[in-house]
Structure 1
Amino acid sequence: MTKPAAQGRLKRQINRLPPEKRIADIMAAAREVFTERGYNDALISEIAERAGVVEGSIYRFFVNKRDLLVRVVENWYEQMLAASEEQFSAVEGTRNRIRYIIHEHLMSIRREPGLSRLVLLQLRADPDYRASRLFKLNQAYTQHILDVVREGIASGEFRPDVSPSLVRDMIYGGIEHRTWGYLRNEKDFDLAATVDGITDMIYRALAAAPEAAPEEDRLSRAAARVEKAADRLERLATNAPGGLKA
Structure 2
Amino acid sequence: MSRIALITGATSGIGKATAEAFAQAGIDLILCGRRQERLKELTVALSSQVRITSLVFDVQNQEAVVKALDSLPSAWQEIDILINNAGNAHGFGPLHENDPADWDAMLDSNVKGLLYVTRAVTPGMVARGRGHIVNISSIAGKQTYANGSVYCASKAAVEALSEGMRLDLTQHGIKVTNVAPGAVETEFSNVRFKGDEARAAKVYEGFDPLRAEDIADAIRYAVNAPAHVTIADLTILAAAQAAATTVYRK
TM (norm. structure 1) is 0.32
Indicate the structure with greater strand content. 2
Larger Cα Rg: Structure 1 or Structure 2? 1
TM (norm. structure 2) is 0.31
